[in-house]
Amino acid sequence: MIARGLLQALDSRQRTLLTLEDNQSVQTQTDNRWEGIWRSATSHYRGGSRRLARVFNILELPPMETSADLPTIQESHELAATALRSAKRRRRRTGPGPSPRLLPGLCSRKKNMAIVSPARHGFPFASSVQPKQSKQRSAISSRGLPILNFRICDLPSVDMFVPTANPVREPPIIVANTVLSLLALNYPANKLACYVSDDGCSPLTYFSLKETSKFAKIWVPFCKKYNVRVRAPFRYFLNPLVAAYDSEFRKDWKMTKVMSVVILIYFFFNFFREYEKLRRKVEDSTGDSFLLDGDDELETFSNAKPNNHSTIVKVVWENKGGVGDEKEVPHLVYISREKRPDYVHHYKSGAMNFLVIDFSNTSIFPSFRYRSLSSSGSSESFFARIDINNVMIHEFEQLRVSGLMTNAPYMLNVDCDMYANEADVVRQAMCVFLQKSKSPDRCAFVQFPQEFYDSNSDELAVVQSYLGRGVAGIQGPLYCGSGCFHTRRVMYGLSPDNLENNGDLSSSATIEFLDEDSLARKFGSSKELVISIVEALQGKSNPKTSLTDFIEAAQMVGHCHYEHQTNWGKTLGCLYDSVAEDMNTSIGIHLRGWSSSYICPDPPAFLGSTPSVGFEAIVQQRRWGTGAIEVLFNKQSPLRGMFSSKIRFRQRLAYLWVLMCLRSIPELFYCLLPAYCLLRNTALYPKGPCLAITVTIVAMHCLYTLWQFTNNGFSVRSWILATCGWLFSIHDILLKLLGISNVGFVVAKKTTPKTMPISGYEPIQRQDDGPNSCYVHKFEFDNSCHFRSSCHHEGGRSGLAENCACILVILLFLPFLKGLFAKGKYGIPLSTLSKAALLAMIFVVFAVGY
């Protein structure tokens, strides 16, 4: 691993460099921050090993001069190991210095390592590895270092999808912050478009987006001008000095004279006031009162129910180019797909497919189309005109309609509760996509890890750190549903085999995909659609169609009857049939032989909100667990097609991680056994040497997992807490397999961020945890509708091993136990108490054998 890491770093000689310049000239663009990190890391290591320093010095030079000096794999392994050891020693002596984890690739076991990606995808951050003096820098580029040069007009466009589902559980101010952070990304504004899909069809969400777009017009130019690092206002206003990049803002803030500081303070408070205004407006506008604002547009929502309404498409803001600040804000579109009570809508995957289908084709925004849309100014927007009752059918309609427009090759997928914490994130992803990879299994998607600002989702972090980085070395990371850049053609069902090295469709694929019959089978039989899909698959952009042509074509495909023969949700787009649609889709892509890349920058590129431990957390884990087992029984199951699919064997094994929640069954028995043995007065463990074996295995497991946690910087406490929660999904899946009930997507509750001006950083507290934060890790028994099994039986005396086992059980289920002895909302309601008592009685009767 270390050797690979170092080689990856060495690989960075073939560095990828994205250059962006407004005047469209090709210039080197350097990211100061990464350069700083790299420099501190190298100087740190320099002390550790002279030979390693030589390697790093080599790295800073152009490849032509150094290739002869490169170490062998064996050598680099030794160098890396020596450097690690001495860095650790040094750190122990001098306290935390620049952390070794900042050194890309080297310290793969450390948290927040800069990047792990399959070596063939190279090392995107290499762009930051630049010699200090600008003289040298230009020399390098003039010497022809392999730089990926892109003029602005050549950069691919990216559509950003933000799904939201419930304005109560997902307060619109959270969505607004996510959207603002995306709109303000460092990427040409006319190449970005942000689509908010609202499954709740809430006027409140629409209203807040409208307000957001107004605020964006001052916020986005401000962020870009001062290179603000954290571009979600609620985080920025926690501590603007830290949130700002080191560059101009800090310079202005610190160094310039009183006058400019005053101006900046005025600036800041102005923004803060504007943001507060936005926040208040959004938060105050509950109920229907704001509908009476005289805003005609909101009338669209008057008859819409979350579960029963036709499609609503609203262009909240359109980037028409032009001059000044306004051209800095990308398109912002609100859409709410059609829903009818009798039809399945496939939760988030349905929403994503709708977005993919609908709008991934908007690299050049067809402004004429939307202008006429808004001039119609009613809910009967264009898409609503081809309204069909069946939602599934409706989706296919959208596919056909969108096929008539231009194709955007990449799309970013972000949950509404995850803001972009790194303004360069699109460029980082593009560095991976735009490399001319020689390998045929090109990168299908780029995943950034999920990290959270409001709670330590310790177990997830540990899993990501081990599983995520591990699989990154096989076929690539799993798609986790958020913080992921997808390639459109892959979502359309292409395999790597279908493409030539230059990205064109191969001749056999041309026959297979572009055959009229198969196109009709997959996408429908409209001629216009067939033409546009062919162009999309060939990687061409479609010619713009005039609006009238578009309407005609769309109406023509409006009443067709081939919907159910299409592959949408089966092999195309986000796959259905699991509430963990991310896992499902991910397997679908890897099964076809694509690889993926993992970018793991520090600080994290996206930060989200997630419930820590408590009722909400268990609801979420239950959904994940259920979704994961559902995946096992699907067509895309990692257990199927052992020899037919192109997924690598070790990648397949990695997917079996989804079985993790099954461990709750033996755990449950393990919890019951000590009590059973105590009641029956029998021994749980064998005597003699066999006991030693059992104890050794259990101890090794515990110590190993504990080490994983502590190694990632988490406390022993978080290791204890991670065990609760998987059991409930077993129950769900049994009911689904027996056909008794279906599994739904319960949206996790998000907490409203609180903003604090300048007074410094204060961590955001979860609102429903109340003022007393010591309750954060307690299980809420009250309102726990899903609390059905209990597993705490203890007492009596028996062998030491049995007693130790009991202690372990108590430790593992500590949050439940704390709840047992608490009062009020953390106490146990009488009904649960009586059910538990009954279960316990049955258990005792069974155990004692009466």
214 is in an annotated binding site: no
Buried-state track 275-291, b at ≥16 Cβ within 10 A, e below 16: beebbebbeebeeeebb
Residues 6+ away with beta carbon under 8 Å from 498: 505, 506, 508, 509, 512, 513
With CB under 6 A as the contact rule, the residue among 355, 412, 519, 579 that binds ligand UPG is 579
229 binds ligand UPG (CB under 6 A): no
Binding mask 165-184 for ligand UPG (x = CB under 6 A): x----x--------------
31 binds ligand UPG (CB under 6 A): no
Q: Which residue, 165 or 505, has its beta carbon nearer to Mn ion?
A: 165
Is residue 632 within 8 A of residue 664, CB to CB? The reply is no
Distance between CA 128 and CA 598 in Å, rounded?
18
Residue 789's Cα: distance from chain center in Å? 32
DSSP per residue over 764-812, as a string? PPPGGG-S-GGGTT----TT-TT---------S---HHHHHHHHHHHHH
Nearest alpha-carbon partner for 755 in 235, 285, 264: 235
HSE, CB side, 13 Å, CA atoms: give it for residue 74: 0
Smallest distance from the beta carbon of 418 to Mn ion, in angstroms? Answer: 7
Q: Which residue, 519 or 617, has its beta carbon nearer to ligand UPG?
A: 617
Phi, psi dihedral angles at 419 (to 5 degrees): -95, 155
417 binds ligand UPG (CB under 6 A): yes
In angstroms, the Cα distances linking 443 to 18, 606, 692 are 18, 20, 48
791 binds ligand UPG (CB under 6 A): no
How many helices and strands (H and E) does the chain possess? 34, 12
CA dihedral 107, 110, 112, 113 (to 10 degrees): 10
Distance between CA 604 and CA 601 in Å, rounded?
5
782 is in an annotated binding site: no
Q: Measured at CB, which residue is nearest to ligand UPG?
A: 481
Q: Measured at CB, which residue is nearest to Mn ion?
A: 417
Distance between CA 519 and CA 515 in Å, rounded?
6
Smallest distance from the beta carbon of 367 to Mn ion, in angstroms? Answer: 33
Smallest distance from the beta carbon of 42 to ligand UPG, in angstroms? Answer: 35
Smallest distance from the beta carbon of 612 to ligand UPG, in angstroms? Answer: 12
Smallest distance from the beta carbon of 394 to ligand UPG, in angstroms? Answer: 16
Q: What are the structure tokens assigned to 779, written together?
A: 């299980």
**Cβ atoms within 10 Å, residue 550:** 19
Q: Which residue, 42 or 164, has its beta carbon nearer to ligand UPG?
A: 164
With CB under 6 A as the contact rule, the residue among 623, 766, 777, 793 that binds ligand UPG is 623
Stretch that binds ligand UPG, among 109-117, 121-129, 361-369, 618-626 (CB under 6 A): 618-626
Residues 6+ away with beta carbon under 8 Å from 632: 638, 639, 658, 659
The beta strands (E) that lie in 110-247 are given as: 115-116, 158-164, 192-198
With CB under 6 A as the contact rule, the residue among 157, 482, 636, 751 that binds ligand UPG is 482
Buried-state track 661-672, b at ≥16 Cβ within 10 A, e below 16: bbebeebeebbb
616 binds ligand UPG (CB under 6 A): no
Q: What are the structure tokens assigned to 752, written together?
A: 């409203």
Stretch that binds ligand UPG, among 303-311, 371-379, 415-423, 809-817 (CB under 6 A): 415-423
Is residue 193 within 8 A of residue 412, CB to CB? The reply is no
**Residue 416 binds which of ligand UPG, Mn ion, none (CB < 5-8 A, kind-dependent):** ligand UPG
Residue that has been written with the tokens 């927040």 in this structure: 112
415 binds ligand UPG (CB under 6 A): yes
Distance between CA 188 and CA 363 in Å, rounded?
12
208 binds ligand UPG (CB under 6 A): no
196 binds ligand UPG (CB under 6 A): no
199 is in an annotated binding site: yes
Rounded (10°) angle between helices 391-402 and 347-359: 30
451 binds ligand UPG (CB under 6 A): no
Catalytic residue ranges: 199, 582
With CB under 6 A as the contact rule, the residue among 19, 475, 610, 752 that binds ligand UPG is 610
Q: Which residue, 745 or 787, has its beta carbon nearer to ligand UPG?
A: 745
Bond into 603 cis (ω within 30): yes
**Residue 100 binds which of Mn ion, ligand UPG, none (CB < 5-8 A, kind-dependent):** none
**Residue 627 binds which of Mn ion, ligand UPG, none (CB < 5-8 A, kind-dependent):** ligand UPG
With CB under 6 A as the contact rule, the residue among 62, 105, 124, 163 that binds ligand UPG is 163
Binding mask 725-764 for ligand UPG (x = CB under 6 A): --------------------x-xx----------------
Stretch that binds ligand UPG, among 345-353, 453-461, 549-557, 591-599 (CB under 6 A): 345-353
Smallest distance from the beta carbon of 179 to ligand UPG, in angstroms? Answer: 12
527 in helix, strand or coil? helix
Smallest distance from the beta carbon of 55 to ligand UPG, in angstroms? Answer: 39
Look up residue 681 and give its DSSP letter. Answer: T
Facing residues of 487 across strands?
410
**Residue 101 binds which of ligand UPG, Mn ion, none (CB < 5-8 A, kind-dependent):** none
Interactions with ligand UPG, residue window 314-343 (CB under 6 A): none
Residue that has been written with the tokens 């290499």 in this structure: 126
Distance between CA 18 and CA 149 in Å, rounded?
6
481 binds ligand UPG (CB under 6 A): yes
Is residue 197 within 8 A of residue 303, CB to CB? The reply is no
**Residue 124 binds which of ligand UPG, Mn ion, none (CB < 5-8 A, kind-dependent):** none
164 binds ligand UPG (CB under 6 A): yes
274 is in an annotated binding site: no
With CB under 6 A as the contact rule, the residue among 624, 719, 726, 779 that binds ligand UPG is 624
420 binds ligand UPG (CB under 6 A): no
Smallest distance from the beta carbon of 479 to ligand UPG, in angstroms? Answer: 9
Q: Which residue, 463 or 840, has its beta carbon nearer to Mn ion?
A: 463
**Residue 493 binds which of Mn ion, ligand UPG, none (CB < 5-8 A, kind-dependent):** none
Question: Which stretches of the chain bind Mn ion, using CB under 5 A?
Answer: 415, 417, 748
Distance between CA 204 and CA 289 in Å, rounded?
10
Distance between CA 701 and CA 689 in Å, rounded?
19
Strands 192-198 and 312-317 come out as unpaired
> Total number of residues binding ligand UPG (CB under 6 A)?
25
Residue that has been written with the tokens 């794999």 in this structure: 73
626 binds ligand UPG (CB under 6 A): no
Q: Which residue, 415 or 616, has its beta carbon nearer to Mn ion?
A: 415
Q: Which residue, 415 or 802, has its beta carbon nearer to ligand UPG?
A: 415
Distance between CA 533 and CA 513 in Å, rounded?
10
Residue 161's Cα: distance from chain center in Å? 12
**Residue 482 binds which of Mn ion, ligand UPG, none (CB < 5-8 A, kind-dependent):** ligand UPG
What is the separation, in whole angstroms, between the first and last Cα of the chain?
58
Strands 312-317 and 451-452 come out as unpaired
Q: Which residue, 194 or 684, has its beta carbon nearer to ligand UPG?
A: 194
Q: Which amino acid is at 505?
A: L
Smallest distance from the beta carbon of 541 to Mn ion, in angstroms? Answer: 34
**Residue 348 binds which of Mn ion, ligand UPG, none (CB < 5-8 A, kind-dependent):** ligand UPG
Residues that bind ligand UPG (CB under 6 A): 163-165, 170, 199, 347-348, 351, 415-417, 481-482, 579-582, 610, 620, 623-624, 627, 745, 747-748
Residues contributing to the annotated binding site for UDP-alpha-D-glucose: 170, 199
Residues contributing to the annotated binding site for Mn(2+): 348, 415
Residues contributing to the annotated binding site: 170, 199, 348, 415
